[in-house]
Amino acid sequence: MTMERLHPLSAVLRVASYGANGFAIPAVLSLVAGGFVEARVGVGGGDLFAVLAPAGLVAGATFGYLSYRRFAYELTPDTFDVASGVVGRTEREIPIRRIQNVDIQQNLVHQLFDVAVIRIETAGGGGTEATLSVVGLDEAHALQRGIRERRARLRASDDGDGDSTTEGASVADDASAAGDVAGASGATVADDATAIDDGAAATRAKDEERWDGDPDTWEGDSDTWDEDAAPGREGAEDWSDERGEWTAESYEPLLSLRVTDLLVLAATNFQLGSLLFVLVGFPLAGDLATNVLLAVAEPLGGPESIDPSAMTVDQYVVLGGTAGPLVLVAGYVLSAVRAVLEYYEFELGRRGNDLVYERGLFQRYSGSIPTDKIQTLTVRETAPMRWLGFAALDVETAGYGSGSGGGGGTQAAVPVAVRARVTTLAHDLFEYDDVALERPPKRARQRYAVRYALVVLAVLAIAYGASALLSGFTLWYVPAVALLVVPVAAHLKWVHRGYALTDDHVVVRTGFWRRRTHVVPYYRLQTIVGEATVFQRRRDLASLVADTASSATLARSAPTAHDLDADDVSRLQRDLRDRLQAHLRGDRRPVDTDASADSNADA
């Protein structure tokens, strides 16, 4: 089969991009090193720029065009092949079984010309395995669907092979006995049958190569493959149906965000990353940011102007205490705008075994989440979400290196919805229902109160020491106000932590401002760890970590039940191990923990 090329617009974009880089690099070198070159060889920076910049432009544009011409891809029944490289040729085969997601992305230029960027992610990959920039939008959707169907076909084939293992063994025994009787004539018949099958398969493969994917344009040889059995017609082989009947890929809409949902998302969503943009943009705002800061700080005892020679230490403290909340407000507004742009026209649906989604305004995303790869469900609720009765649903998949900002395996299946709708979807995916959680022992709450109080006292001591060194600093006692909220903070932290064991899942909850309820099926557990710090051991406490194939990353820890009784953690480790083994055996009956413990003791 002939390999396909990218969309012609890709050549234009690559020529422009590489040409601009080829022009910019000599221009910068001429500006930076022009004086040095002129002193050495007598050629000025302007003359150097006049020679090198056009040459760099031509070289970059040529390289961009060649990179387009040398890039090709092909979707085969078992692999997705990519060939690229101008100086060195690279050919890659990505097994369909390993492909986990096919993301389609469009910026404003792509939407204008009906093209898209395809990013192919694989299980276990540290990043994007292949990027096609750019292809036609129809071609992108065709590739996305084709990969999904081939993956389903291979999965069904693997399941079929597993189911027929036992039956195949007995049939093989009978065939072996019959072969002893058949003798040489049987071998001749087998050879003829093999030759006929090979010829039919070759003809069928050629017919498939000529087919464009439209069921109405099938022109297969009716002697080798019945035309009515062509893909897309009744009676044909189905790549996505275990029964072997081709059916049109059905789409089941699950959820779409309304305007009110977007407003709730904007009002309840806060991303810490937005603070970085605020801090970087603060100097760019110039006088506007300074005037706002002074206007808010002056009634609280702040300075009238930022004059280091005239400001007192107390005024510095007031100015810093005012700047913090203003940065948070600006970050909150930026988070709201970003959330609306990111999840504009969000739609979630189901195609076969995959969850599919589309979202975004200026940057459109379309992708899929294979349900058989989901390791953990997380019901995420910020404090404002809980007050309004809303929640979000995140899914973690095994080894998924998201190229679209998925967070290293975590994707928002539902960015925001009424909590009942979120729990319904969680039930559809994992048969999970809300359960009552068992809280940590009350001595854990005492530990939180002591820890918070020590932090406040440490800040208070530092402030007092600073007041002794700085004569103008008299507000050292202000941090003591935080001691009033220490009991409330400790109680809220304790209330929003807990765990539960159901017939099929271990459920772990933690967090107040951003509460997360992790739902992990027993058969997804990989490591069950009990751990305790020095301070936990003093109070006979420990934490239980339920690790899966996707849990631990630099930005996110594995689902953890914090500060449980140490004896309970040991018991839960045994219980979870027994439940995991029971599920692997196919026995989903509740495990009698006490009986299991007694049997282990007897053993």
Residue found by looking up tokens 């994917």 in the block: 213
Q: What is the pLDDT of residue 582?
A: 84
- Roughly how many angstroms between the first and final C-alpha of the chain, as a whole number? 62
Render 226-276 in DSSP notation, one character per residue: -GGGSTTSTTS--SS-TTS-------EEEEE--HHHHHHHHHH---THHHH
Helices (H), 520-565: 534-538
Euclidean distance between CA atoms 336 and 257, whole angstroms: 15
Res. 373 pLDDT band, cuts 50 70 90: confident
Q: What is the pLDDT of residue 571?
A: 93
Mean predicted lDDT score pLDDT of the chain: 78
- DSSP, res 4: B
Beta-strand relationship, 347-351 and 115-122: unpaired
CB 415 within 8 A of CB 346: yes
Transcribe 371-420 into DSSP letters.
GGGEEEEEEEEEHHHHHHTEEEEEEEETTB--TTS--SSEEEEEEEEEHH
Beta strands in 208-312 (DSSP E): 252-256
- Of 120-129, 266-275, 344-353, the range with the highest mean pLDDT is 344-353
**Range in 356-360, 533-537, 596-600 with the lowest mean pLDDT:** 596-600
DSSP run (H or E) holding 509 = strand 505-510
Residue 545 β-bridge partners: 529, 560
3-class SS of residue 127: coil
Residues in the chain: 603
| CB 393 within 8 Å of CB 377 | yes
Whole-number Å distance between alpha carbons of 70 and 68? 5
- pLDDT, tens only, 140-184: 999 988 888 888 888 777 766 655 544 444 434 443 433 443 343
- Give the list of residues 6+ apart from residue 560 with CB closer than 8 angstroms, or none: 508, 510, 543, 544, 545, 546
Neighbours of 374 (CB within 10 A): 21
Widest Cα–Cα separation across the chain: 109
| CA-CA-CA-CA torsion sign (190, 194, 197, 199) | negative
Name the nearest CA neighbour of 378 among 317, 336, 426: 426
Calculate the dihedral angle through the C-alpha atoms of 369, 372, 373, 375, rounding to the nearest 10 degrees.
110
134 cis-preceded (ω within 30 degrees of 0): yes
Which H or E run includes 370?
strand 364-370
Region 200-215: mean pLDDT is 47
**Among positive and negative, which fits the CA dihedral 44, 49, 55, 60?**
positive
Closest by CA to 525, choosing from 572, 593, 590, 592, is 572
Confidence category of residue 466, pLDDT binned at 50, 70, 90: confident
Query: Which token pair is 104?
Result: 């389609």
Q: Please determine, for residue 279, whether its predicted confidence score (pLDDT) is greater than 50.
A: yes
The most confident of 32-36, 46-50, 272-276, 453-457, by mean pLDDT:
453-457
Residue 583 has pLDDT above 60, yes or no: yes
Q: Contact 447/438 with Cβ under 8 angstroms?
A: no
Please tell me the distance from the alpha carbon of residue 472 to that of residue 248, in angstroms, as a whole number: 78
Helix (H) or strand (E) holding 275: helix 273-285
Given a cut of 80, whether residue 47 has pLDDT beyond it is: no
Locate 359 and state its tokens. Answer: 């979202």
Residue-wise DSSP of 278-305:
HHHHHHHHTHHHHHHHHHHHGGGT--SS
pLDDT at 74 over 90: yes
Residue-wise over 574-603: b if at least 16 C-beta within 10 A, else e? ebbbbbbebbeeeeeeebebeebeeeeeee
Sheet holding 514-521, edge to edge: 410-418, 390-397, 374-382, 514-521, 505-510, 498-501
Residue 224 confidence (pLDDT): 39
pTM: 0.73
Taking only the tens place, the pLDDT of each residue in 404-453 is: 444 445 778 899 999 999 999 988 888 888 888 999 999 999 999 999 99
The gap from C-alpha 170 to its chain's centroid, in whole angstroms, comes to 45
Q: How many degrees, rounded to 5, is the angle at CA 74 between CA 68 and CA 76?
A: 175
Cα 344 to Cα 259: distance, rounded to the nearest angstrom:
9
Q: What is the DSSP letter of 312?
A: -
Segment 71-79 shows an average pLDDT of 92
Query: Do 516 and 387 form a contact (C-beta atoms < 8 A)?
Result: no
